[in-house]
Structure 1
């Protein structure tokens, strides 16, 4: 089955690089989001918010897994198409390049507005440096959940299969799509605010566990190697990764962010405002240089090379797997 994975995932990756997320596509993540919103209306009414939040998680993930399994059974074309929808390399790169072009045109206010669609922090008071930092930081963090994690789970899924209605089906797609459901749950209910601190607790923890290995593969291997191939600071990428990777409120976000910061010689963190309240985030990286527009392009370059290296790694492992 390893050759099938190489072809299927390779094609899914190429399609993602070409098409990204077309506006005409009713993305599966949108459908998952609607399911979460529908279930939340009923489950949030329960008194025990942690328990009802756990039920939301279980129902969403099990439904996604079962539907994905049935889709995978229909044939390779359908499986490749839905595998492609779990990847977000081009979409993430395009969002970064969009802000880059706006900044280059000198329209700071428009750049702030565009950035507000990508991040949860307040953007209206950001300086030029902070805008650039926020874009690069977003690309660094989302390299994991936008590509490496779904690719990793698609790869892991190839080691398992289920016979359904007389046909053996690989779990590559169900694993990858279920990961997207995990990530969507975290983005919708995994907040530590008054409303979701209990209801979203299980979803946030599950997301932390799911991203644990992919985040460390990204920070330790894929980003440093990408920086080496691109001529960026390979040694500093590894240095900052080992030194600063745990200087983040998230157990996973700092893994990739630290490697990116080291590769580009920049520093994340400092005072950031969320929903009108200021927070002092720990600093990640050394300020070897001031932020400039080109840091966004460099971050996009790293993203593309990371996606290629991850795809190549997972495919080669399957090809070399003993029968």
Structure 2
């Protein structure tokens, strides 16, 4: 396996072992800062019309991608020129920071621990840190459902998609994906402020996630059989409900998760005080329980490991032949 493949494998295991160290600067925070700065500049530069905001959004995408890629490209170029081992080490560090399996588990388990130890108000506060919807009036069932949905969706966005991009193009491809995905999470809203300005970012994110979301769903279905969950029902619900979302990608892994756990996910939710009507995903065979949060995480981790094993096998074969 060549240098980029070794770096990805090392980065994957570092992520599983340690998650995001809070004492280190994280590149996604830098991308977020860049998006905020560019948005301010572009909103002043372009007219506040539909066409002006759409043009500003296109320049946002181009500018953020370019300025996201320049620093890691320069650092990797320097590191590999100094020594191959240093280059692998730097690229492994980037891969480690761009994957989020351990952090997704840790942050979602904070909701679980809050509900178990401190009750519903603490659970609402904990889940507000990882979801975009309004959480102050959620029931315990609503808090658990929001957490499980986040684990399901981010299995693709936070782990499988960046892993696949880095498998194809190294850490720089991972930075490219993260730039677009972070823009979508910050400006890709269907509201008055971002309907036109965030459209380019949202559409590009849909395109980039189209294949990874479906591969993640297939891998998650397979992982059901490794974790003792209902793989046949996961596949049934996936085929039926995989498009029950405004995004063409978000329901892919949510449908598998709903079927695997035998619960109903999605449905109506409030965002910024506005009710958004949504289709449900899965069947209400039983009430979702707090214990479904660790079950969802076991499925996410197993899916991530299957993906890494598949990538390592394919890259190893390509290197040999």
Which structure 1 residue ranges, 4+ long, deviate > 4 Å from structure 2? none
> 2:174 aligned with 1:127, yes or no?
no
Residue from 78, 84, 87 that aligns with 2:90 = 78
Q: Aligned partners of 1:7 and 1:175: how far apart in 2?
A: 15
> Aligned residue for 2:230?
233
Residue from 242, 245, 250 that aligns with 2:247 = 250
> Aligned residue for 1:117?
129
Q: Aligned partners of 1:279 and 1:80: how far apart in 2?
A: 41
3-state SS in 2 of match to 1:273 = strand
Long gaps (5+) in structure 1: 158-171
Residue-pair matches, total: 307
What is the TM-score of this pair, normalised by structure 2?
0.93
Aligned positions of 1:266-285 closer than 5 A: 266-285=263-282
Q: Aligned partners of 1:71 and 1:314: how far apart in 2?
A: 25
More strand by share: 1
Aligned positions of 1:35-54 closer than 5 A: 35-45=34-44, 46-47=46-47, 48-54=52-58
> Aligned residue for 1:212?
210
> Aligned residue for 1:298?
295
> Aligned residue for 1:287?
284
Q: Aligned partners of 1:23 and 1:67: how far apart in 2?
A: 21
- Cα RMSD (Å): 1.2
Please say if residues 267 and 281 of structure 2, whose CA atoms lie closer than 8 Å, have aligned partners that are also in contact: no
Q: Aligned partners of 2:118 and 2:93: how far apart in 1?
A: 39
Q: Deviations over 1:69-100 (max 9, x none)?
A: 22222111111101111000010000111111
Long gaps (5+) in structure 2: 80-86
> Aligned residue for 2:195?
197
Q: Aligned partners of 2:268 and 2:187: how far apart in 1?
A: 25
> 2:27 aligned with 1:28, yes or no?
yes
